Amino acid sequence: MAPTQISMITTHSLLQLLTRLPHRGAATPHEREAAQLLVDTLAEAGAATRLMPFQTPKTYATVVYWIIGGLLSSIVLVISNGFLLQQVGLVICGIALTQAWLYFNWRHASVVTWPVQHTALNVLGQWPVADRTPPTRRVVLLAHYDTAPVSALYNPKQQRDFQKSLQLSLGVMTLTAILLLVHTAVGLPAWGFWLLGLVALYLVAQAILGTVGFWNQGYTNGASDNATGVVAAIETAKRLRENAPPGLLVEVVLPSAEEVGMIGAHAYWQANKGRFAKEAATTAVINFDTLGAGKLTVIERTGTVEMIHYDSPLTQLARDLVSRPAFQNRAQVGRWHTADFDSVWFVRAGIPTLALCALAPDGTMPRIHRPDDILAAVDETPMHDAVDLAEAVVREWCATPL
């Protein structure tokens, strides 16, 4: 099913409005402008809307500095040879290492709540059941609207090796703890101190490489990542409102601070996890992320060291649709191990979830976290394909007995 001409004009207009802002960085004035634009757009489409404030660091630089700063501080304290200082250093090292393993395996880490905190906004919109009867099913259409800091770690070569890079970094951080424990227990030989020095240099280099792009160039415009996802989520909601499946309640959730660590989505999840637990069998979540270049991809697995499997009935429906003539040349099934999606909280909780993005033939997302992620570089084809596929999945899900 091809998008109608009216639909194409509407989606392109919203895409233009979102990308006219220089960026939509979490907890910035431009984020608030974007939030108001999205509230107005949802309200015009007939949704009941609200803003959900939550606390977050502005960028992941804060988190990286806390973790690496903690590890470097622990090295200094442990090699000081004062017993009390050594014990304090080991405690700091343990805390920093634990936070790193949680954060880079896309679990909630308390480090994201450490200073400095700012207020960001999730945008929520909900349409009632079309015939005003009690809802029997709920679909949550999820897409973050904040934009990423520019980062050298996301050039194409680095992106292809991002999972290995994170695994290496976690390995080096773990090695730090092992060396410090050995030094405290029996002392390190000369080569051990050299190794510890190399570890410290590696950690400093990673902190610089991961954040220097932001300090030099600020945020990306975020046309593909993720204005396209936002437009796809809203357009899918509009489509589902036309000839709506009986008993379907449609909700659009547009989180901020995804680029900090899926924090806005986690705040939404925490506020609603009781409802999701009760309605797990009748709830579906579809996440749209970065649909401005490449081929529409149904994600089947993510993760760094711990693997996260997207194998719910919703993903199975999408896989089946991708094999049919209507979608077999427009979409594919794939994996994504460079960071994760807002949907991670729902997948881990066993909520039926589908994650859609667009990937280049080499498995990368073109231009993400880079200065050239602008509207002129966007190919809207995968965005429209995502809307078509998401609508088809929801309609088939609604027609499937629970």
Amino acid at 258: E
pLDDT in tens, 207-266: 999 999 999 999 999 999 999 999 999 999 999 998 889 999 999 999 999 999 999 999
The residues, ordered by sequence, that sit 6+ positions from 361 with a Cβ below 8 Å of its Cβ are 294, 295
Q: How confident is the model at residue 40 (pLDDT cuts 50, 70, 90)?
A: very high
What separation in angstroms does the CA of 340 have from each of 20, 159, 240, 289, 301? 26, 13, 27, 10, 10
Amino acid at 56: T
pLDDT in tens, 322-342: 999 999 999 999 999 998 999
pTM (2 d.p.): 0.94
Residue with tokens 């991809």: 297
The reported pLDDT for the residue numbered 233 is 98
pLDDT in tens, 50-109: 999 999 999 999 999 999 999 999 999 999 878 999 999 999 999 999 999 999 999 999
When the pLDDT of each residue in the chain is averaged and rounded to a whole number, the result is: 94
- C-alpha span between 244 and 235 (Å, rounded): 14
The reported pLDDT for the residue numbered 29 is 98
The reported pLDDT for the residue numbered 8 is 41
For residue 92, what are its two tokens?
């700091």
> 3-state class of 321 per DSSP?
helix
The reported pLDDT for the residue numbered 11 is 66
- C-alpha span between 193 and 380 (Å, rounded): 54
CB 226 within 8 Å of CB 143:
yes
DSSP alpha helices (H): ranges in 104-228? 156-160, 162-185, 190-217
What is the pLDDT averaged over residues 137-161?
Answer: 92
C-alpha atoms less than 13 angstroms from C-alpha of 291 in its C-beta half-sphere:
35
The reported pLDDT for the residue numbered 67 is 98
Q: How confident is the model at residue 129 (pLDDT cuts 50, 70, 90)?
A: confident
What separation in angstroms does the CA of 60 have from each of 11, 31, 79, 149? 30, 16, 29, 8
The reported pLDDT for the residue numbered 6 is 34
The reported pLDDT for the residue numbered 7 is 42
What b-and-e string marks burial along 274-295, b requiring 16 or more CB atoms within 10 Å of the CB? eebeeeeebbbbbbbbbbbbbb
Question: pLDDT above 70 covers what percent of the chain?
Answer: 97
pLDDT in tens, 350-381: 999 999 999 999 999 999 999 999 999 999 99
The reported pLDDT for the residue numbered 130 is 75
For residue 269, what are its two tokens?
């999840």
What is the pLDDT averaged over residues 22-35?
Answer: 98
Q: Is the pLDDT of residue 1 over 50?
A: no
CB 279 within 8 Å of CB 351:
no
Q: Is the pLDDT of residue 2 over 60?
A: no
The reported pLDDT for the residue numbered 89 is 97
What is the pLDDT averaged over residues 270-292?
Answer: 96
